[in-house]
Chains A and B, each alone.
Chain A
């Protein structure tokens, strides 16, 4: 059952990204371009997304187990460390260059455009590089 809900949630997430316009890099860059002709649409995507997720997460914070009995795995970290800040700043630079982030990239991967294939390959390489650096750090 949990496999089915995982698939359904991913599918719904992808359809939401496509409907919202998040999967169109030109639109994302229009949102990030405050000094040009600014398209505020994506602010409303966040409003809708956070709004709809507020109650489920309020429930999740008060429970040890999910509705299907899975352990509730919410992040426990609290500290605002340098990794969080520098990592997020670096992510934003990449987002600003191409107008695409991980979710939308996967949601349009099967359209087969070479641009998204190249972006996802580079993104996976970046993640593997992170894993390799982390292994060196901890060993």
Chain B
């Protein structure tokens, strides 16, 4: 294993992580809810789910984050390396998988881990493992 030191950004990663944790912590302290993006979005897609106002407002805050970011400077880099067939496949798998698995990197990865949930630990180990495996196959076995 070689470390990519030129792209390694420990301080912004840690600081961004802290903001994410504080945001998730505030949501549970004030609203009593889990800041899991797939769960919030999936529940808004189901007619008649409870707490739609609060869920929608959390997601609205998330959506307008880049507009607030622009007040302080230019947006951080966003570089896609996947063509349209890959993006469609990835979106479908992420949509179905997070709903069956009841969470994603936010709901299981941050909130679930922080509340020491064994289910979330298993979920994180599963999506990390298949994420690592997928990149290995696409980049090193097929991409050659």
A residues at B contact (CB < 8 Å): 1-3, 5-27, 29-30, 32-42, 44-61, 65-68, 70-75, 77-80, 83-103, 106-111, 113, 115-116, 118-131
Contact = CB atoms under 8 A, between A and B. Distances in A.
B91 A87 contact: no
B68 A24 contact: no
Interface of B: 1-4, 7-10, 12-35, 37-38, 41-42, 45-46, 53-55, 57-69, 75-82, 84, 86-106, 108-119, 122-124, 126-136, 138-140
A125 B92 contact: yes
A14 B45 contact: no
A26 to B, nearest CB: 4
Contact of B65 (A17, A100, A129): A17
- Interface of chain B: mostly helix, strand, loop or mixed: helix
B18 to A, nearest CB: 4
A127 B46 CA distance: 9
A101 B12 CA distance: 19
Nearest to B7: A39
12 contacts: A6-B30, A6-B57, A26-B80, A29-B81, A41-B8, A51-B17, A78-B118, A83-B101, A85-B122, A87-B100, A94-B95, A102-B38
Given A40-B8, A85-B122, A7 B96 contact: no
Contact of B16 (A5, A22, A122, A131): A22
B93 A48 contact: no
B97 A91 contact: yes
Contact of B91 (A34, A75, A125): A125
